């Protein structure tokens, strides 16, 4: 509390008020009490003066020894000098002033004569005043009070003279001074005694204000749990209650804002699209983690940094500033690290106000672009694959329609070629339909346990004669009975093996070799088909499982180019995968997995 400036000021004001009260009381007492004391003294001496005036009236024209004795003993009787003035001549008839006060006599007489006429007029019953009298080389103050001497002549009273009492005020002034000193000391003592009560009262008065200040400071530092005492009556209690309500409302508002901020952060952090926001000066205000991967950044740009000073984001600086200036939406495409990025930029502004900034939403459209390219390639490949047999059929049908083919042998040969092309066309359409069903998930596949060795034995018989005809060495597992039982769809596994072996025979020249290997562990069986054919270019390895892909770009080899795509979809339906490794000119190895059976 002692460190509180407001407390010290209030305490100082109260103490200063007490001090001023004491000083003003003393000063006002000095000015106001003097006339009061003078009136008291006048009321005290007036009866005495009137008694002397009555005695003087009785002996005014004769000598009175008793009256003279009263005058001589005036100091002892009345503590004052007595002057009796003749109203007719204006002279002093009697005086009790001793010879030692000869210096004071002229001044006294002058003051009496100055006020004597007022009493002689009969309008005043008494008259008092003060004057300075010379004394011992200095001066002292004297109190004068005068009363008229009235004499009755028949039924009429006449003022024939006056009686003045002149009393020294040294004693009264000394008492008055002592009272002033006592009053000042009393006030100072009261001031000292009031320090503790004033301290206590001020502390109680200031406590709610200090609590209110503590609430305000706590709010400024983000702590909304502090509350002030709102039980005080009056404005201070109302202020404390207002601050408590403010703390409650701010706490609720901050909690809501924090919740919304956390939600926004989670949303931004969970977005797959990159987000970058700037203000109207080009200063970065927000960026989400997805921006790191999309733009190839090592770290997020710090909030508060200039966008133009970020080398990795330099190409976004000018378009974003144009968005801020022109308040228009814009789009552009970027290429980063073999990725295609679409950037959507929009201004941040009120409808009628200037733009406060801009935000860029960065989206990876590489896959969409690849799918679009795949769609275009698919349409082109389908068109090509369909056009080839249709062109051949048309080329054979038109001469036959025009009667140009007369020989029966030629017609039969034409019919055979037309039938082969129709079969090829039908196979292409069936493969496309099957691939579509697989990709749509509409093909139901039943999985069961079967012996892998028996399946491979049947397949080896089918391809052994083909290998002999093409002069290709066919490598096969020796002990087929030792192969494990697998859990899969027998027909679909056979289809995958036939697709892989067909491809191997297509792209392996005479004198080459094709081998099939099986390895397994407790959970998985891996089957590999390796050949020494033409191999696959490294740039095309990732595309071998696409529809209509063929190793020969001229599409001179027979087939639809859908086999590997179908094989991959079949294995995916069974929860398995297929991979390929290849060296151009040295051959390829396709490996797929199957689950072991029980």
Q: What are phi and psi of 223, to 5 degrees?
A: -100, 115
Question: If you classify domain 6-168 with CATH, what class do you get?
Answer: alpha beta
d(CA 154, CA 469): 189
Where along the chain do the CATH 3.30.450.220 domains lie?
6-168
Specify the residue for token string 């690290």.
337
Where along the chain do the CATH 3.30.450.20 domains lie?
271-364
Residue 97: per-residue pLDDT: 73
Rg of the Cα atoms in the chain: 65
Residue 592: per-residue pLDDT: 93
Smallest Cα–Cα separation from 513: which of 461, 471, 458, 460? 471
pLDDT tens-digit profile, the chain (598 residues) = 455 666 667 777 777 877 787 777 777 777 777 788 788 888 888 898 888 888 888 776 566 677 778 777 887 788 888 888 887 777 777 677 776 677 888 888 888 888 888 888 888 888 988 888 887 777 888 889 999 988 876 667 788 888 899 888 877 777 777 877 887 788 778 778 877 877 777 777 777 777 777 777 777 777 767 777 666 666 667 777 787 787 788 778 888 888 887 887 777 777 778 888 888 888 888 888 877 777 777 777 888 888 887 777 778 888 888 888 888 888 888 887 777 888 888 888 766 667 788 888 888 887 777 777 767 766 666 666 666 677 777 777 888 777 777 787 877 887 887 887 787 677 667 666 666 666 656 566 788 999 988 888 888 877 888 888 889 998 888 888 888 899 988 888 888 888 888 888 888 999 899 999 999 998 899 999 999 988 888 877 777 877 655 555 444 444 556 778 878 888 888 888 999 998 888 899 999 999 988 6
Q: Considering the domain 271-364, what is its CATH architecture?
A: 2-Layer Sandwich (3.30)
Residue 336: per-residue pLDDT: 74
Distance from CA of residue 141 to its chain's centroid?
A: 80
SS3 150: strand
446-596, CATH topology level: Heat Shock Protein 90 (3.30.565)
pTM recorded for the entire structure: 0.41
CB–CB of 130/143 below 8 Å? yes
CB–CB of 180/29 below 8 Å? yes
d(CA 38, CA 42): 6
Where along the chain do the CATH 3.30.565.10 domains lie?
446-596
d(CA 253, CA 564): 60
369-439, CATH topology level: Helix Hairpins (1.10.287)
Where along the chain do the CATH 1.10.287.130 domains lie?
369-439
Residues making up the chain, counted from first to last? 598
Tokens coding 64: 């009175």
501-530 residues labelled b (16+ CB within 10 A) or e (exposed): bebbbbbbeeebbbbbebebeeeebebbbb
């Amino acid at each position: 509390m002692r460190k509180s400036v407001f407390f010290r000021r209030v305490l100082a004001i109260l103490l200063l008020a007490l001090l001023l009260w004491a000083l003003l009381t003393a000063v006002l007492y000095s000015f106001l009490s003097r006339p009061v004391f003078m009136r008291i003294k006048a009321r005290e001496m007036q009866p005495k003066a009137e008694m002397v005036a009555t005695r003087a009236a009785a002996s005014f024209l004769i000598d009175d020894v008793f009256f003279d004795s009263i005058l001589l003993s005036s100091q002892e009787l009345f503590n004052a000098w007595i002057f009796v003035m003749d109203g007719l001549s204006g002279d002093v008839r009697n005086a009790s002033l001793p010879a030692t006060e000869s210096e004071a006599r002229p001044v006294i007489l002058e003051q009496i004569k100055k006020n004597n006429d007022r009493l002689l007029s009969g309008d005043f019953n008494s008259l008092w005043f003060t004057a300075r009298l010379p004394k011992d080389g200095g001066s002292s103050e004297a109190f004068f009070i005068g009363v008229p001497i009235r004499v009755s002549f028949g039924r009429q009273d006449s003022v024939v003279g006056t009686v003045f009492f002149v009393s020294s005020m040294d004693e009264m002034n000394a008492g008055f001074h002592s009272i002033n000193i006592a009053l000042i000391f009393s006030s100072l003592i009261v001031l000292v005694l009031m320090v503790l009560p004033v301290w206590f009262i001020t502390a109680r008065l200031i406590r709610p204000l200090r609590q209110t200040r503590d609430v305000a400071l706590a709010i400024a530092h983000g702590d909304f749990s502090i509350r002030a005492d709102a039980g005080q009556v009056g404005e201070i209690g109302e202020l404390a209650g207002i601050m408590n309500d403010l703390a409650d409302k701010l706490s609720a508002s901050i909690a809501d804002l924090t919740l919304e901020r956390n939600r926004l952060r989670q949303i931004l952090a969970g977005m797959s699209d990159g987000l970058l926001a700037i203000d109207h000066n080009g200063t970065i205000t927000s960026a989400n983690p997805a921006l790191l991967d999309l733009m190839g950044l090592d770290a997020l740009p710090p909030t508060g940094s200039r966008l133009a000073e970020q080398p990795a984001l330099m190409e976004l600086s000018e378009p974003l500033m144009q968005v801020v200036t022109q308040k228009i939406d814009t789009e552009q495409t970027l290429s980063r690290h073999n990725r295609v990025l679409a950037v959507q930029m929009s201004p941040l502004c009120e409808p009628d106000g200037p733009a406060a900034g801009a935000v860029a939403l960065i989206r990876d459209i590489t896959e969409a672009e690849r799918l679009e390219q795949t769609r275009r390639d698919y349409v082109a490949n389908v068109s090509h694959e369909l056009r080839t047999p249709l062109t051949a059929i048309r080329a054979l049908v038109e001469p036959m329609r025009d009667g140009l083919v007369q020989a029966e042998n030629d017609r039969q040969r034409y019919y055979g070629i037309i039938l082969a092309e129709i079969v090829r066309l039908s196979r292409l359409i069936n493969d496309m339909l099957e691939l579509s069903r697989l990709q749509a998930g509409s093909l139901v596949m039943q999985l069961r346990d079967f012996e892998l060795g028996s399946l491979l034995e049947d397949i080896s018989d089918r391809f052994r004669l083909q290998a002999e005809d093409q002069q290709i060495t066919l490598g096969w597992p020796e002990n087929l009975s030792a192969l494990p039982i697998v859990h899969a769809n027998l027909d679909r596994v056979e289809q995958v093996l036939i697709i892989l072996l067909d491809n191997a025979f297509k792209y392996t020249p005479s004198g080459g070799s094709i081998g099939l290997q099986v390895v397994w562990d407790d959970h998985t069986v891996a089957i590999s088909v390796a050949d020494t054919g033409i191999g696959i270019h490294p740039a095309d390895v990732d595309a071998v499982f696409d529809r209509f892909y063929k190793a020969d770009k001229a599409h001179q080899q027979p087939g639809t180019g859908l086999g590997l795509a179908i094989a991959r979809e079949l294995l995916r339906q069974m929860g398995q995968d297929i991979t390929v490794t290849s060296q151009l000119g040295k051959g390829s190895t396709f490996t797929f997995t199957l689950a072991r059976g029980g």
